[in-house]
Structure 1
Amino acid sequence: MIKHIVLTRFRADVSEATITEIYAGLARVTERLEGATGFHGGRSTSPEKIERGYMHGFSIDFDSFDDLATYSADAEHKRWGAEIVAHAEGGLDGVLVLDIEA
């Protein structure tokens, strides 16, 4: 299994409604692709308070790196990913992506 984790430092002018819309779009992509499950996303509520500006994130579980590659190549995923970058502070500099093999 691959745990795909994306953390975003959204610009201050980006509304929670916009972020929710982006995450809902990515959840729909996850639902329709084989080998992708468990979309979870939202705003951090960590009591530790060490997000360092990365207040939003999501994760998706993939059965394999091939399934992750299918997701990455998907046109709808690319659309929502571009929305994340467009709304992130500093563009791509405001996005962190981790893929952890479990």
Structure 2
Amino acid sequence: MSSSSGPVRHMVFCRFREEVTPPQRLAFFEQIRRLAEIPGIAFTNFQCGPNVSPEGYGMQFGDGFMMDFANRDACFMYLAHSTRHAIVARLIEALDGGMHGLLVVDINLENHEKPSRTTRPVLHQHRNARSPRAAQPHD
């Protein structure tokens, strides 16, 4: 993470072993969500679930979760907590390849600008400008 003191989004992507069922996967994520109930750990906007992207670029990371922290210090408090370490140790045992089945990305949210109002109409016009032939695979 950079030296920013603004909000941070912590994203974790998991490649579970085949035998780990969807309910077992969600149980890990629920344990992580409940960490917010511990004094000293504070995050918001917790989201979790399976990867539903149709693009096929997920590198077999089939599930994930994310949460937002007010700043880097709040994120570090979460990362350093012993209960989190215990949950992550069990999570890693359930992943295909252990730690290689885990991808973690943290981004500073203050660095991201919202698009201007003129962006949406331009994208909408572009979508409407495509001919039906352009959407079909090439021969």
Aligned to 1:9: 15
Match of 1:18 among 11, 18, 24: 24
TM-score (norm. length: structure 2):
0.68
Decide which structure has the larger Cα Rg and report it: 2
1:35 CA displacement: 3.4
- Deviation of 1:51 after TM superposition, in Å, equals 1.3
- Matched to 1:66, the amino acid is D
Partner of 1:45: 52
Q: Which is worse superposed, 53-62 or 30-39?
A: 30-39
Give the alignment's Cα RMSD to 1 decimal.
1.3
Indicate if the aligned counterparts of 1:42 and 1:57 stay in contact, CA closer than 8 A.
Answer: yes
Q: Report the TM-score when normalising by structure 1.
A: 0.91
Which residue does 1:28 correspond to in 2?
Answer: 34
| Cα contact 1:9–1:53 (8 A) shared by 2 | yes
Paired residues in the alignment total 102
Q: Give 1:64's aligned amino acid.
A: N
> Deviation string for 1:67-101 (max 9, x for gaps)?
11110111221121112211111100110101101
Shift of 1:34: 4.6
Q: Does 1:81 align with 2:74?
A: no
Aligned residues: percent identity?
28
How far residue 49 of structure 1 moved from its aligned partner, in angstroms, is 2.6
- C-alpha contact 2:41 2:78 (8 A) present in aligned 1: no
Shift of 1:9: 0.7
Q: CA deviation at 1:31?
A: 4.1
Instruction: Show structure 1 runs of 4+ deviating over 3 A.
Output: 31-35
User: Taking CA–CA contacts closer than 8 Å with sequence separation of 6 or more, which of the two structures ends up with the larger relative contact order?
Assistant: 1
More strand by share: 1
